[in-house]
Structure 1
Amino acid sequence: MDSVESQVYVIIFSTLFLGGIMSTFVIAMVFIHRQRQAQNRQKVDQIKSEHEKTLLNIENEIQQDTLTQIGRELHDNIGQLLSLAKLNFGSIKPEKHAEGKEILNQVIQEVRGLSKTLNLDWVESISINEFIGQQLERIKNTGFCETTLEADFELVDLPKDQKLVLIRVIQESLNNAIKHALPNKILIRISENGEGKQIRIQDDGIGFDTALQTNGSGMYNLRKRMDTIGGNFELTSTVGKGTEIILTLPN
């Protein structure tokens, strides 16, 4: 009997011991799972915060560029038109007064156009194709170099965050080409392949050795900005043969 009781006690003890181990294991797994959930939430919140911060910085940069452009237009264009109108109104000839009125009408149209760019509403009202066309036309009109846009389709209905990032990255890529590449021609092509929709920005400028030249933090910032929208930034360049930037949009 004592032997049977001993066996029962051993079985009970073993069961309790194993039960305790299992309970401890379950509690530990639940704790680890919750800890990982908390860490994942922190990572998601951090990514979201960085994304929002990047978009805010881009909006501020675009607004600053817009204000700079408006200041330039007020000084170089509208200011000259007003001076010309003043000269015409100062004349005693009736035909000069008529010319002055025409100039004032032109000034009014210019001011209305500038007023539309004081906020970012234009970002939502313009397609990426239209924006690229405007940028290339502006460069071409300065006589700096020839420009071409080739598009297999229209990039429309993009989310505002994607459009903001693309606009800023394209602006910076073109600014870098103007400042550093000294090209005779800039070509932008919008196409699609197995990787997705792409925007290729090519110039036939002086190029550079990507292994030696980092262009400071500029390229890193452009790459990081494309990362924030799930896209990709790729740059290739050869000394004497120009530079190509490929922006791949998220699917």
Structure 2
Amino acid sequence: MDASSNEIIIAFLFGSLMLALIGVFMFMMVIFYQKRKIRSIEERQRLIAQYEQAALKAKVEIREETLKYVGQELHDNVGQLLSLIKLYLTHPETQQKTAVTQLIDQAITDIRVLSHDLNINRVEQYSLGDFIEQELNKVHKAGTMQTSFESEGICELPSIQNRVMISRIFQECINNILKHAEAKHIFVKLVAEKGSCVLSIIDDGVGFETSTVRNGTGFINIYDRLKLIGGDIRINSAPGNGTNITLRIPQG
């Protein structure tokens, strides 16, 4: 066998080896791509399940807050009105008829309002701005602090689940103010801004060191829910200077 034949054989073997290596490489790339695709699908499914679970939990929490509020109102307000009516009726003097009528009218009005609030699906039926205004009216009615609300532009979330989670986040922020801030005023503003909803919640309370609360359960829930819907939060506070919480939520 001459040298040229050997060169042809070597070239053939080398070419075959290169083709084999390319084939193995392509095969490994296909396997890698498929595994990566499977992981991506699994991660997406996990996030969807986590999102749905968080939305359901938020809805349950809103239901619990609503029932707690209604129960307290029935006990403290409507119950007191009915007790006064009973007291008046045990002494049915003519001059008290007007007072009794007024008390009955007030009880009817309060029960009608509570019936409206008892609609636990109102988060889904009303706009985010309407829900915020209703929640602030509850605080104002309690007489513990003053509230104000401003809205600019059309700021609405297309997803009901996102609306539920933001509504619950808002409730958590207001509850934190009521429990800890010792505030006299709550200022809330909802603004449509460059494809996002910007919700600002400001109080003139005692404030706090932001580094001490970021690991608290309430704020962890807020961060987790915002992350699931692609939003973010900024908290500005200091002892003696009140608190400013700004939420930015995508509308798309």
TM-score with structure 1 setting the length: 0.86
Give the aligned residue type for 2:202.
Q
Q: 5 Å matches for 1:115-134?
A: 115-118=115-118, 120-134=120-134
Q: Output the CA distance in 1 between the equivalents of 2:38 and 2:119.
A: 39
2:33 matched residue in structure 1: 33
Tell me the distance in 2 between the aligned counterparts of 1:215 and 1:180.
16
The equivalent of 1:141 in structure 2 is 141
Which whole-Å CA distance do the structure 2 matches of 1:13 and 1:146 have between them?
87
Single out whichever of 125-134 and 189-198 deviates more from structure 2. 189-198
Q: Identify the residue that residue 16 of structure 2 maps to in structure 1.
A: 16
Instruction: Find out whether 1:189 has 2:201 as its counterpart.
Output: no
| Distance in 1, Cα, partners of 2:103 & 2:38 | 65
Pairs within 5 Å for 1:91-170: 110-111=110-111, 113-118=113-118, 120-156=120-156, 158-170=158-170
Identity %: 29
Q: How does 1:68-79 map to 2 (within 5 A)?
A: 68-79=68-79
Structure 1 runs not aligned, ≥5 long: none
More deviation, 126-135/162-171 = 126-135
Structure 1 residues 21 and 223, CA gap change in structure 2 (3 angstroms): same
Please state how far the C-alpha of 1:210 moved relative to its aligned partner.
1.8
User: CA-atom RMSD, angstroms?
Assistant: 2.8
Change over 3 Å in CA distance of 1:179–1:202 after alignment to 2: same
Q: Which residue of 2 aligns with 1:2?
A: 2
What is the CA–CA distance in structure 2 between the aligned matches of 1:61 and 1:161, rounded to whole Å?
A: 13
CA distance in 2, matches of 1:129, 1:184: 22
SS of the residue aligned with 1:178?
Answer: helix
Distance 2:243 2:195 in 1: 21
1:60 — aligned with what? 60
Distance (whole Å) between structure 1 residues aligned to residue 200 and residue 33 of structure 2: 44
CA distance in 2, matches of 1:38, 1:170: 37
Give the SS at the match of 1:180: helix
Equivalent pairs, count: 251
C-alpha deviation, 1:226, in angstroms: 1.1
What is the Cα deviation at residue 204 of structure 1?
1.3
Structure 2: stretches of 5+ with no match in the other structure? none
Distance 1:84 1:154, change over 3 A: farther
Larger deviation, residues 98-107 vs 64-73: 98-107
Q: Which moved more, 1:227-236 or 1:138-147?
A: 138-147
Secondary structure (helix, strand or coil) at the match of 2:155 reads: coil
Equivalent position SS for 1:150: strand
Deviation at 1:121, TM superposition (A): 2.3
Maintained 8 Å contact 1:91/1:97: no
**Residue in 1 aligned with 2:225?**
225
